[in-house]
Structure 1
Amino acid sequence: MGSRGPRVLDAGIRVAGGIAKKHSLASSAGQKKNATHGGIQFLKSYGQHILKNPMIVNSIVEKGGVKSTDVVLEIGPGTGNLTMRLLETAKKVIAIEFDPRMVLELQRRVQGTPHQQNLTIISGDFLKVDLPYFDVCVANVPYQISSPLVFKLLSHRPMFRAATLMFQREFAMRLCVQPGDPLYCRLSVNTQLLARTTHLLKVGKNNFRPPPKVDSSVVRIEPRPISTIPCNFKEWDGLVRLCFGRKNKTLGGIFRTKTVLELLETNYKTYKALQLHDPSTPEGVRKLVEEVLATNGHENMRASKMSQDDFLVLLATFNEKGIHFA
């Protein structure tokens, strides 16, 4: 049933707030026509899927820890069922919506209600708009922008308290897994450096209409205070990117390759020049790399099994030798 039916039946659509191309989740093969809701046609080219389980809507809001004094950011509100539930709980909701049809539907839905003055709608692409102040973010997000969406949120200042977000299940698990898990990757390491991530809830594909091809999961992301992040993130990401290029290869195998050594030498010379030091390397960068690899057993480590502390020690050791990654 649509927005003209019971107060909460669908939980918005998985699109908007950043959709400019086809969603990574296609409708099931047997779906010949786009679904409709309250007279609005959902576009398969946008990958729009309606969450039809009201219990999940309530659970997302509850697990989001929304307070009556909170300003809530919602990404992709769609027809507004999750939005309306948030408005019942929070002081204010700021919704970012890409699809103009959904903007109109959301405006129609709150018109004349006590919540009308507490909703602000930003029409546009989430990845391109300037984010306002907010306390928490609660959203059923567009899956194909999941990674840039997470890092745009984590780079936002002032820092928010928490984000409760629904993702494609595999992506969600990558945010939360620990070293040694097959899904452990650069995304895992980078996100967990900047935030505490917790898997909250699995949402089966049959909870959507039409059902997508994959299950979903809800994740809670709590940013760490800037003062507790022990390194420069650009430096960190440069190192992690190299290590996870071949995550099951030893660090010795990675850092002895010609291309990596050439990159490190270029970075070394640039850094020295910026520090107004002689950029020449009489002993050669290769020797410096060998010294790093010989420290703390780094040579035989593999990114797929390295902890946050392992990467921090490795980065500090490289930096001590004058080797940088940004």
Structure 2
Amino acid sequence: MKKRKAMRKAEKIRSSVSQGITFNKSAGQHILKNPLIVNSIVEKAGLRSTDTVLEVGPGTGNLTVKLLEKCKKVVACEVDSRLVAELRKRVQGTPLASRLDVAVGNVLRADLPYFDVCVANLPFQISSPFVFKLLLHRPFFRCAVLMFQREFALRLVASPGEKMYCRLSLNTQLLARVSHIMKVGKNNFRPPPRVESSVVRLEPRNPPPPVSFQEWDGLVRIAFIRKNKTLSAAFKSKVVLDMMEKNYRVHASLLGMTIMEEFSAAQQIEKVLQENEFAKKRAREMDIDDFLKLLHCFNSAGFHFA
């Protein structure tokens, strides 16, 4: 028994160490080691020889090297100085070195550089904030091919009525066309993560939908607090009513409108939902067009979410 435990511990240590580097699993450092998967990701990105590619979390450079062979330039964003040194060492003295630009630091805290395509094996814990930083970035890029935890990827591509459909699904699909490319098993990484992964392709909608994302997200956030509840029930929450009445009064003041003493936000909100046949609808069943219509109805009645 003790011998088996010792063997497992030794194997765990070997799996988390490569070329003298101990990978930090808590920081999401899982290096993609399967060259077939690496090649497939690069192929799905549809790179051109003139492209600048943004890579986040390059690790030891297995994916970076393949990208450098296909494009004009790779901007690799890495927070771990040990891996930065390993990456630079890997291309040192080769023709690829002049095409690599390493940005050291947290990609969420810095402005993104110009790029045509984004390709990344993302640290899992930054998946959601990075997706929206990416999709709200300007100028537009052509596409992104990104590795996520399987469950997160399934949420991105979920459709109305499906179990995984959520606010993340709706917000992402408002801003981009999303497709699931392939599943990637945990044994394709070193060290192996605890969960399975998937690769997803995002293509920004250009031009973007004619709607304020802050307004949109404010509405969607309320609707998905309890996605199985009717919208009528969701908008009866005291917190929601107080927020919407405050926003109503602020916008009325900006427009120089007079609000009657008998004004009731709760009654007006219910009126909007009833008259436009949304009162009995549930967020889990509504698509982008439904939410765009609902947002227009609220805005037309003077209610805003940002």
TM-score tier, shorter chain, comes to over 0.9
Identical residues among aligned pairs (%): 59
SS of 2:120's partner is: strand
SS of 1:94's partner is: strand
Q: Distance in 2 between matches of 1:90 and 1:214?
A: 31
SS of 1:246's partner is: coil
Structure 1, unmatched stretches of 5+, are 1-27
Partner of 1:181: 162
Ranges of 4+ aligned residues in structure 1 off by more than 3 Å: 28-32, 279-283
**1:158-191 Cα shifts (integer Å, max 9, x gaps):** 1111000000011011111100111111111111
1:248, 1:304 within 8 Å by CA — same for their partners in 2?
Answer: yes
Q: Return the match for 2:132 from 134, 148, 151.
A: 151
The alignment yields a C-alpha RMSD, in angstroms, of: 1.7
2:23, 2:191 within 8 Å by CA — same for their partners in 1?
Answer: no
Q: Distance in 2 between matches of 1:221 and 1:245?
A: 26
2:53, 2:117 within 8 Å by CA — same for their partners in 1?
Answer: yes
1:269, 1:280 within 8 Å by CA — same for their partners in 2?
Answer: no
SS of 2:108's partner is: coil
**CA 1:263/1:107 → structure 2, altered by over 3 Å: closer, same or farther?**
same
TM-score (norm 1): 0.88
1:31, 1:210 within 8 Å by CA — same for their partners in 2?
Answer: no
* Deviation of the 1:43 alpha carbon: 2.4
Q: Distance in 2 between matches of 1:247 and 1:31?
A: 44
* Deviation of the 1:290 alpha carbon: 1.9
* Deviation of the 1:154 alpha carbon: 1.0
* Deviation of the 1:263 alpha carbon: 1.7
* Deviation of the 1:65 alpha carbon: 1.0
The alignment of Structure 1 onto Structure 2 pairs a total of residues equal to 298
**CA 1:238/1:31 → structure 2, altered by over 3 Å: closer, same or farther?**
farther
SS of 2:159's partner is: coil
The letter for the 1-side match of 2:69 is E
Q: Show the 5 A alignment for 1:37-52.
A: 37-52=18-33
Partner of 1:258: 238
**1:246-274 Cα shifts (integer Å, max 9, x gaps):** 10000011112333222211110011112
SS of 2:54's partner is: strand
TM-score (norm 2): 0.93
Q: Distance in 2 between matches of 1:181 and 1:281?
A: 44
Q: Return the match for 1:130 from 108, 111, 115.
A: 111
* Deviation of the 1:106 alpha carbon: 0.9
Q: Within the alignment, does 1:69 sit opposite 2:47 as a pair? A: no
* Deviation of the 1:146 alpha carbon: 0.4
Partner of 2:4: none
Q: Distance in 2 between matches of 1:55 and 1:113?
A: 23
Q: Distance in 2 between matches of 1:44 and 1:285?
A: 49
Q: Return the match for 1:308 from 272, 281, 288.
A: 288
Partner of 2:182: 201
Partner of 1:9: none
Further displaced range: 43-52 or 307-316: 43-52
Structure 2, unmatched stretches of 5+, are 1-7
